[in-house]
Amino acid sequence: MRWIYTLLLTLAAPFLLLGLYRQRPGKPAVGARWREHFGCTPNVEGSPIWLHAVSVGEVLAAKPVITVLQQAYPDIPLLVTTTTPTGAEQAEKIEGIIHRYMPIDFPFAIRGFLRAVSPRLCVIMETELWPNTLYNVHQAGVPIVVINARLSEKACLRYQKIAPLFKAMSKDIDLIVCQHQNDQARFVSLGVEKNKLAVVGSVKFDIKTVAPDLGAALRQARGERPCWIAASTHAGEDATMLAAHSIVLRDYPDALLIVVPRHPERFDDVAQQVAAQGLSIQRHTQGEPLAASTQVYLGDTMGEMMMYLASTDVVVMAGSFLGARVGGHNLLEPAALGRPLLTGPSYYNFQVIGDALIDAGALQVCNDSQDLAAKVGAFFSAPSLATQAGKAGLAVVEQNRGAVERTLQALAPWLNR
C-alpha cells in the first residue's frame, strides 16, 4: 500500500514543490536550505526531542508545549521542524530551539534526516501524519507521539476512504493525545487501538497571559472609533468582509476594519480589493500613524495576530465563510483577550470549542455579509453586550486550562528513561 502512495507522491511532488518554493511578495524564501526537504540535514548533537509543527499556526500552538519541555528537560536539545518557510520564520523566533525543515515524505529523505538528527522522541503537532515518515521513524526505534490531535468528521470520512493505509500508519504511532472525546471516538472508528489514545484537552487553551499594553498603540491611534477585525481571511472571504464593512459604515461612518490575511502572498491582492471598493486603506508596514480617514487597516505582517486582535472591539474569525473548504481558525486567542466573537457557518476545525463558546454566549454564527454587518453593528451599539460576550469567552478559556501540563505528563514516560 505504501509503495502505491510513494508512487503517487513522486508524481505530485513537482507541483507540491512549485507551491513551496515559488516566490511571492511577503513570503519568506527557503533559499539554500531546500536540500533539507530531501534529507540533507545538518547534524544535530545530543539526541534531541523532535517536535514537528508544519506551519505558522502549528508553531504558535506548540509554543506553550515547547516552553514546558525546555523547563522540564533543560539538558535535552529541542529540535523543531516545519514544512513551510513561514513556519520556519516563526520557529526561529523561539529562543533555545534548533530549527530544520521537515523532509518530504520520501523514504530516502526521511532516513537521511534520521541519520543526521538521531532523535530520542518524535512529537507531532496536531494531525500531520505521513505514511513513510511514520514507518521509517518507527523502524528506527524512535517513539512517536501525536499531541493536540484533532480529527473532524470531514477528515474522518476522508481517512475512511484509505482505511487500510490509515490503520497501517496507526500501528507505527505509540500514542495519540487527543483534544476532545469526539476526536478520540473518530480515531477509534478508524481502527486505532484505544490503549494508544488519551484525551487531555486543547493546548490552545493554555494561552500565555497577554501583556496589558499589547495593541495599545493601535488602540490609542484609533481613539474612540468603533473597530472590528477580520482575522485570517482566505481568498474569497475578503469581499464578504468589505461588503459587510460598507454596510457598517452607513450607521458608523467612522468605523475601522482591520483585515489580516492568512497568507502573506495575499497582502497585495487584498490591498487592491480594498482600493477597488473605494475604501481608504492603510498598511501596517507603512509604519505611519493611523489616519482618521482610514477605513480599512491591512495587517500585512506575520506572527502579530494577538496585537491586532487586542486593538479591536469585535473579532470575526475567518476561514469560516467558504463552505467546507477551510473549517475556521483558532477562536481561543480572541476569547482569551475578552473580545466578543463572530464566525461564519463553517468552523468544523474548532467544532467543540466553537460550540462551547456559543453555549456560553461568547460566539455567534453569521451567514453572510448582511448578517455579519448587523451583528457587528449590534455590538457597536451596545458595548455592554460586547463586554458580556467577551467575559463569557474568557471564562471558557480559564475553565479549560491545563492541557499543556497534561500533555507533558503524557510525554514523560519516553523522556524520563
Q: Is 242 found in the same domain as 202?
A: no
Residue 190 lies in a domain: yes
| Best mean pLDDT range from 19-23, 29-33, 120-124, 285-289 | 120-124
Q: Is 411 found in the same domain as 305?
A: no
39 vs 52: CA distance, rounded Å = 15
Structural contact between residues 28 and 87, judged by C-beta atoms closer than 8 angstroms = no
C-alpha cell belonging to residue 218: 493601535
Task: Write out pLDDT tens, residues 376-401.
Answer: 999 999 999 999 999 999 999 999 99
Q: Is 123 found in the same domain as 166?
A: yes
pLDDT at position 107 over 90 = yes
SS3 for 162? coil
Q: Is 409 found in the same domain as 287?
A: no
Q: Is 394 found in the same domain as 250?
A: yes
Q: Is 283 found in the same domain as 196?
A: no
pLDDT of 5:
85
Q: Is 233 found in the same domain as 188?
A: no
Higher pLDDT, 17 or 238: 238
pLDDT at position 86 over 90 = no
Task: Write out pLDDT tens, residues 217-265.
Answer: 899 999 999 999 999 999 999 999 999 999 999 999 999 999 999 998 8
**Average pLDDT, integer, range 162-169:** 84
Residue 185 lies in a domain: yes
Residue 284 lies in a domain: yes
Task: Write out pLDDT tens, residues 94-105.
Answer: 999 999 999 999
Grade residue 209 by pLDDT with cuts at 50, 70 and 90.
Answer: low
pLDDT of 212:
65
The pTM of the full predicted model, rounded to 2 decimals, is 0.78
Q: Is 406 found in the same domain as 394?
A: no
pLDDT at position 411 over 80 = yes
* 58 among known catalytic residues: yes
Give 227's strand partners: 256
Catalytic residue from among 36, 45, 58, 128: 58
**Average pLDDT, integer, range 107-129:** 95
Number of domains into which the chain is organized: 2
pLDDT of 109:
96
203 vs 298: CA distance, rounded Å = 29
Work out the percent of the chain whose per-residue pLDDT is above 70.
98
Domain residue limits at 369:
216-399
Residue 299 lies in a domain: yes
Q: Is 193 found in the same domain as 266?
A: no
The values of phi and psi at residue 75, to 5°, are -90, -5
**Average pLDDT, integer, range 403-407:** 95
DSSP 3-49: HHHHHHHHHHHHHHHHHHH---TTPPP-GGGGGGGGT-PPP--S--E
Work out the percent of the chain whose per-residue pLDDT is above 90.
72
